[in-house]
Amino acid sequence: MGPDKEDTKMDNPVPPSYTPHSLPYGATDIIEPLPPTYTEDDNNDSHPSPIYTQSSSNVDLTPSEIAGIRALRQRNNDNNIYNLNEATPSIQLFAAIDQGNQEWIARLLSAGSVTANTKHRDETPLLRAIKTRNVQIVQQLLEAGANVDEFGCVSTQYDKHTSTTTSTLRTPLQLASTIGHLPLVKLLIEQHHATDSLVAPDGQIALRLAAEHNHPEIVAYLPSRRTGGFKRWQFKNRKSLQRIRKICKRIGQFVKFFVWDLEVFFLWTVPKHVLVKPVLRGCKWCWERRGRLGPWCKHQVMEMPGRIKRAGVWAGKQVVKIPRGVASAAKGTWRFGTETLPRLMKDFSVWFWKLLTVKLPKALKIFGHWIRSGITSLSKTIWNAILKVISFFSTILSAIISFFKSLTLRDIWNGFVEILRAIFVTLPKMILSWIKAFGDTSYKMMKALFGLLGQIVWFLGYGILWVVTFLPRQLWKILESIGASLAKAGYEVKVWVNPKAR
């Protein structure tokens, strides 16, 4: 190959693989490199290796690599690639990461068609490697120049209320803290100086992600940070804020309907279209035809005697019919008193007897079932609260006897919280659900007593009640949302005081 012989050799060796040591309990966790897996003979002139030599962007794939691409496509529902050998280099890179194939990754990177920062669907190769928990692949990508602090997509969520899709963005350190992989966290911070104070768009930082996912060893390792609190509160309350805006909009529409729309309809729209416009159209019609008014009046005067004569004839005929009408009315009154009224009284008696013997017992049974279920639930809730009070004092007594050896103040506090929850949360919820159940009970009772008429009356009453209670219900929802927001704000205050709190 002459003087070009040296050009075909590998300029830079493949980045070495890294694995964590298995350390005894209490030892310091470090990550050391393994010896390189290549020799000088692996890249001689007679047998150039495709892994280390310069190549084009079209990299030949092995059967196992094709299987990896197929698995990646199936996971991503990507059916647009018919020839697996023509898969884009980014897809090949992510398939290689999923398989943990370091040689394939090195071959793709050395080909120059992709880099360690090439994204696929907004996800970085480093994030994908951290998801697989493969320390060697993570180290290989970092040695190849992967950005240790770059944000990338780790998941997507679809909001059915707004019909939008949002992406969760994380840095490699934040993702490693989320999954609780301490060796990766130490690798990113100690060897590659990852920034643990970066704040994600949703306000999360590495420390809070580790704490919220219950990884105490990572929480203990990371330094205390107080950043991102307001953004976290804002992100967690975005649905509550949207809910408050929607409720305020409904209240505005409700008030506008009763205060403005009804008045405008009856005082402006109806008079305008029923009185004013017809009168104006009539006046306009008369003015346009004012030349015909004289002949029309003359015609009416000429026709008036004939109309008076016909009216007199009609009145005489009606006077003649009066005796016959009186006789017919007398017969109808007799028939009503002797036939219709007794039949109506009989039908009413049958209906009333059926109401007393069949429908009323059925309605009382429904009402009794509602009363019984309410009393049973109330008794169970009260008894449960009593048991929790007894358990609380028993816990205090046990703690005093054992001099707080087996129990802590935290256990006593949890017991006190359970008592408060039973009295002020569980009991009111049960009573409220019992009251709500009366709506269904009353509907069944009205249906059992009066049938279709009872259903109509119930729906009318329900509509009136809905209108009367609309504003209080909406205001209560606003108070609930505000209360939830304040609770989350209190949690963020707690985190600000103690950044490593759960």
Going by C-alpha positions, the residue among 114, 138, 111, 139 that lies closest to residue 49 is: 111
Q: Give the three-class secondary structure for 408.
A: coil
pLDDT digit string (tens) for 93-103? 999 999 999 99
- CB burial readout 226-262, b (16+ within 10 A) else e: ebbbebbbeebbeebeebbeebeeeeeeeeeeeeeee
**Domain spans of the chain?**
2-54+115-236, 342-497
pLDDT class of 367 with cuts at 50, 70, 90? confident
Reported pTM: 0.55
Higher pLDDT, 57 or 262: 262
Higher pLDDT, 44 or 122: 122
Q: Under CATH, which number does the domain 2-54+115-236 receive?
A: 1.25.40.20
| Average pLDDT rounded to a whole number, residues 87-116 | 90
- Amino acid at the residue 486: L
> Distance (Å, rounded) from C-alpha 377 to C-alpha 381?
6
> What are phi and psi for residue 114, nearest 5 degrees?
-135, 165
* pLDDT computed for residue 61 by the predictor: 60
> What are phi and psi for residue 153, nearest 5 degrees?
-80, 130
| Average pLDDT rounded to a whole number, residues 192-220 | 94
pLDDT class of 406 with cuts at 50, 70, 90? low
Higher pLDDT, 290 or 31: 290
pLDDT class of 178 with cuts at 50, 70, 90? very high
> What are phi and psi for residue 261, nearest 5 degrees?
-65, -45
> Distance (Å, rounded) from C-alpha 446 to C-alpha 456?
9
Higher pLDDT, 11 or 126: 126
Higher pLDDT, 29 or 126: 126
pLDDT digit string (tens) for 411-426? 777 778 788 888 877 8
* pLDDT computed for residue 228 by the predictor: 92
Most confident of 22-26, 71-75, 159-163, 308-312: 308-312
Judge whether residue 390 has pLDDT over 70. yes
Judge whether residue 381 has pLDDT over 70. yes
